[in-house]
């Protein structure tokens, strides 16, 4: 991100923020989460600590073929945080190869949010019947204590070799969901592989999810969402559609959560958990209102950010 955009966002932080509390939405690539990882007590404890920070957490790369790892994670999570009750909603197994398939899983607190609908997007767009390796599993949530009340989450874990095509196809998913559920409050999130060698700068002009002016990419460019010290890439992203949803975001709250630093883990210990950091963002609570002047400033900042990156 260029310095002028950083200065503008810093100004927003001073002028707009009246508190740091909010409703937390997270997206976390668990890196081959399945039976073997679920048997590692230290890993499961760290995962519970991370997910318990979130009101809604999208999990990716869930490969729970024996259908035991996810129930164990939920048990760990509810034991670790008895003040809340957590449930999970999982997609079908997705992937072109029968030998490698993943699930999208939404873990959420039942006392702060409820599921009001879900939809497995079919990969049958006109003219392209196989756009995605793992089609989005779209979920609609009701969160009455947030400023926005209700929203839709569209997850995506792109295939690195097909990132540009899949990101562009997500725009069609967005339009379909807006029409189907008659809503403008849509967030797209996940491991987009949207950086380094997987999304060349010359290809960005061909991605409508990037060029559309009514979409705001909340994780700044050059933000490292990877655990390995040898990589520095902004793979994991959060994108919101529309000014109303943008207005419901706590300023400067979108960021990766560096659990390695927070929990004082070595790199090897952190990599046992995942090779990605989760990314997260806060929605404003009803009791945590912001200045009305925030909207034009926020939209302006996002416009400047997109123009300069």
Q: What is the CATH number of the domain that holds 197?
A: 3.60.10.10
Q: Is the pLDDT of residue 126 over 90?
A: no
DSSP H or E stretch at residue 208: helix 208-211
* Active-site annotation holder among 135, 157, 166, 280: 157
- Expressed as residue numbers, the domain containing 97 is 19-289
Euclidean distance between CA atoms 146 and 20, whole angstroms: 14
Q: Give mean pLDDT, residues 146-153.
A: 96
- 0.85 surpassed by pTM: yes
- Concatenate the DSSP letters of all residues of 269-308 into one string: HHHHH-SB--EEEEEPBTTS---TTHHHHHHHHHHHHHHH
pLDDT of residue 125: 62
Whether 75 sits among the annotated catalytic residues: the reply is no
Q: Give mean pLDDT, residues 138-163.
A: 96
Residue 111, classed as helix, strand or coil, is: coil
In a domain, 7, yes or no: no
Q: Which of 193, 146, 152, 200 is nearest to 173 (CA)?
A: 152
Q: How far is CA 54 from CA 150, 182, 195, 224, in A?
A: 17, 27, 25, 20
Q: Is the pLDDT of residue 113 over 50?
A: yes
pLDDT of residue 140: 98
* pLDDT tens per residue across span 75-106: 999 999 999 999 999 999 998 887 789 999 99
* pLDDT tens per residue across span 26-35: 999 999 999 9
In a domain, 133, yes or no: yes
**β-strand pairing of 236-241 with 215-217:** antiparallel
| Better pLDDT: 195 or 270 | 270
The total number of structural domains that make up the chain: 1
Residue 196, classed as helix, strand or coil, is: helix
In a domain, 13, yes or no: no
Cα 132 to chain centroid distance, Å, stands at 18
Residue 31, classed as helix, strand or coil, is: strand
In a domain, 301, yes or no: no
DSSP 202: G
* Active-site annotation holder among 102, 135, 166, 280: 102
pLDDT band at 128 (very low <50, low <70, confident <90, very high): low
Residue 46, classed as helix, strand or coil, is: helix
* pLDDT tens per residue across span 289-307: 544 334 444 444 444 444 4
Whether 102 sits among the annotated catalytic residues: the reply is yes
> What percentage of the chain exceeds 70 in pLDDT?
84
Cα 33 to chain centroid distance, Å, stands at 17
């Amino acid at each position: 991100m260029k310095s002028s955009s950083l200065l503008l966002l810093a100004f927003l932080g001073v002028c707009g923020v009246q508190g740091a509390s909010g409703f937390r939405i997270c997206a976390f690539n668990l890196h081959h989460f399945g039976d073997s990882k679920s048997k590692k007590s230290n890993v499961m404890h760290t995962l519970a600590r991370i997910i318990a920070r979130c009101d809604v957490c999208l999990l990716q790369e869930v490969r729970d073929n024996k259908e035991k790892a996810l129930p164990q994670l939920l048990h760990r999570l509810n034991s670790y945080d008895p003040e809340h009750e957590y449930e999970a909603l999982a997609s079908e197994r997705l992937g072109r190869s029968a030998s490698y398939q993943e699930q999208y899983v939404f873990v959420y607190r039942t006392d702060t949010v409820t599921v009001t609908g879900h939809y497995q997007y079919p990969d049958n767009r006109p003219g392209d019947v196989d756009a995605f390796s793992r089609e989005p599993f779209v979920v609609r949530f009701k969160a009455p204590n947030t400023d926005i009340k209700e929203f839709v989450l569209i997850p995506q874990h792109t295939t690195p070799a097909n990132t540009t095509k899949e990101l562009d196809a997500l725009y069609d998913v967005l339009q379909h969901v807006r029409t189907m559920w008659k809503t403008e409050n849509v967030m797209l999130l996940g491991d987009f592989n949207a950086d380094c060698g997987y999304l060349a700068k010359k290809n960005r002009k061909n991605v409508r999810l990037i060029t559309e002016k009514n979409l705001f990419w909340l994780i700044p460019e050059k933000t490292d969402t990877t655990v390995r010290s040898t990589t520095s890439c902004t793979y994991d992203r959060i994108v919101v559609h529309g000014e109303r949803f943008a207005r419901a975001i706590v300023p400067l709250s979108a960021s990766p959560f560096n659990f390695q630093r927070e929990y004082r883990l070595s790199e090897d210990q952190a990599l046992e958990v995942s090779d990605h950091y989760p990314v997260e963002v806060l929605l404003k609570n009803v009791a945590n209102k912001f200045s009305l002047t925030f909207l034009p400033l926020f939209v302006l900042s996002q416009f400047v950010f997109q123009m300069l990156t």
